[in-house]
Structure 1
């Protein structure tokens, strides 16, 4: 008997939650992306030459015990 009461309460809460979400205001389309900044400002933030890669450290010889 308790399980059916819990089932009815759960179903009614689920349906109430689904109905509460209906009719929410808001745009029904994807918003336009923001305007791109001018080309001069975009190129100033990027370095002209990529930095040289750092060589890996030399491998140390394994010590024998």
Structure 2
């Protein structure tokens, strides 16, 4: 039981340490420099054409609009 309690305390301390930036400066955590755009990708999936399941989903959504 002591191991679980010690682990919980460590997790709480780590979370508190990570939140110090927000507590002190009110500045939230930011992502990496550039992210996907730095790879030259314009979207998350850089596929030239959507898969069949995506095409069906898009067709259903288009039917709902009409």
State the TM-score bracket (shorter-chain normalisation). Answer: 0.3 to 0.5
Structure having the higher helix fraction is: 2
Question: Under a length normalisation based on structure 2, what TM-score does the superposition of the two structures give?
Answer: 0.33
Q: Which structure has the greater CA radius of gyration?
A: 1
Which structure's relative contact order is higher, taking Cα pairs within 8 Å and 6+ residues apart?
2
Q: TM-score, normalised by structure 1?
A: 0.34
